[in-house]
Amino acid sequence: MELYAGLMSGTSIDGIDAVLADFGSSRPVILASVHHCFSENLRKQLFTLNAVGENELHAAAVASNGLATSYADAIVKLFSRSNTNPKVVRAIGCHGQTVRHRPDLGYSIQLLNGALLAELAGVDIVCDFRSRDVAAQGQGAPLVPAFHRSVFSHPEIHRIIVNIGGIANLTDLNPRRLIQGFDTGPGNILLDAWVQRHREQSFDEDGRWAKSGTVIEQLLTRLSEDEYFHRAPPKSTGRDVFSLDWLQNHLQGNESAEDVQATLLQLTVTTITDAVNKYLTGTAEVYVCGGGAKNLYLMERLGEALSPVPVATTESLGIPAIQVEALAFAWLARQNIKVLPGNLPSVTGATEERVLGVVHHA
C-alpha cells in the first residue's frame, strides 16, 4: 500500500473535505473520507480576511493556527474512520485556505500553519502548492487538471471535467491536443453568499430557492459583461473579484431575492457553457465534480445548456464528485514526495513544469 491523505477547503469557506487514498496501484483507491465543518468563529475570521481590514498580519497568523487545528481534527476523524495508524501514511497534501489570489501581482495566499499541522497530525505535510507555479509566471490555478488527466482521461474520447466549487473551472481532456484548463468564473460562491444573506442558510439545497425564482435577463446581461468572462485563457479568479460587493454594484435595488438567486445560478451555467462552446469545441462527454454537482437544479440547467453532449458526475468515472479535489491534493503531495511536476504549463501559463509544494516534516 502507498497511503496519502488530501485536505481541501475551498472558496465557499464551509469546511474541510478529507480523503485517505491508496496509490499502490495504477488508479488511486479511496479508503475513507470525511467532511469537517469549520467553527463559526473560524469562518468569520476567514471571511473577514477576504477583504482589506485592520491588523491583517496578526489576524492571518491567528487564522492560520486555527486552520491547522481544524485540519488536524479532520485528519483525526479520517484516520479513526479508516482505523489507520498515522505512521503508515507517507504524507498529507493540504491546499490551505485562499484569502487572496493575485497572480497578476505575483502572489497567491493560502493560509495555513503547515509546521503546526505537521506537529498535530504526526505526518509530513505538503502545502503551499500554488506559489511555485506563480513564481514560474503561471496563474497558480487551476492545479487540479494535472490530476484530472491522470485519472479521468481517455485515449480516444474528448472529455471535459467541470469542477464547480466556489469558483468553477474546466479541464479539457482532448486526446488530440495539450490539456487545457481555466476558471470560468463563479460556481457556488455567489449562490451561497446570497442565500446566506437572505435566508440564513449555508447553501441553497438542491437549488430549490433558485428554481422558485425567474432569471432577470437584464441583470444576467450586466453580470455577463464583466471583462473576466471575455478574457482568453490561461486565467484564474477568486473571491477577490466575484464577491457580494461585485454583485451589489450590478443591482438596481428592486429585484426580488429569489429572482437574483435564479439569475446567479444561470450565470454559473452560462459562463461554463460559453467557455465550452468557445474554447473546447468537439466535446463528447462532460463530467461534473465539486459541491455544485449536488445542486440538482444547477445540474439540470447545465445539462439542458450543453445538450446534446451528455452531462454526468464523476461518480460515473469511479470517483465521487465531492471527493475529487481532496484526492487531487493527496495526488499533488505524492508528486512532491516523488519529485515529479504537479502543474501543467498549458493550463496555468507557467514557463515550465514545476514540482509544487513545501514539505513540513513531522
User: How many CB atoms are closer than 10 A to CB 76?
Assistant: 16
Q: Which residues contact 219 (CB under 8 A, 6 or more apart)?
A: 250, 251, 255, 260, 263
Q: What is the pLDDT of residue 10?
A: 82
Query: Of 300, 137, 326, nearest to 234 (Cα)?
Result: 137
Question: Could you tell me which residues are beta bridge partners of residue 228?
Answer: none
Q: What is the pLDDT of residue 312?
A: 98
Domain 3-139+323-360 has CATH 3.40.630.30: no
pLDDT in tens, the chain (362 residues): 999 999 999 877 889 999 999 999 989 999 999 999 999 999 999 989 988 888 999 999 999 999 999 999 999 999 999 999 999 999 999 999 999 999 999 999 999 999 999 999 999 999 999 999 999 999 999 999 999 999 999 999 999 999 999 999 999 999 999 999 999 999 999 999 999 999 989 899 999 999 999 999 999 999 999 999 999 999 999 988 999 999 999 999 999 999 999 999 999 999 999 999 999 999 999 999 999 999 999 999 999 999 999 999 999 999 999 999 999 999 999 999 999 999 999 999 999 999 999 999 99
- Is there a common fold for 3-139+323-360 and 144-321? yes
- Give the DSSP per-residue string, 12-62: T-SEEEEEEEE-SSSS-EEEEEEEEEPPHHHHHHHHHHTS--TTHHHHHHH
Q: What is the pLDDT of residue 262?
A: 98
Q: What is the 3-state secondary structure (H, E, C) of 191-254?
A: HHHHHHHHHCCCCCHHHHHHHHCCCCHHHHHHHHCCHHHHCCCCCCCCCCCCCHHHHHCCCCCC
Query: Of 61, 80, 7, 59, nearest to 38 (Cα)?
Result: 7
d(CA 159, CA 175): 9
- What CA dihedral angle connects 99, 342, 354 and 334, to 10 degrees? 100
Instruction: Record the pTM.
Output: 0.94
Domains of the chain by residue range: 3-139+323-360, 144-321
d(CA 22, CA 26): 10
Amino acid identity, residue 80?
S
Give the single-character DSSP code of 84. -
Consecutive H or E run containing 5: strand 3-8
Domain 144-321 has CATH 3.90.1150.10: no
Q: What is the pLDDT of residue 93?
A: 98
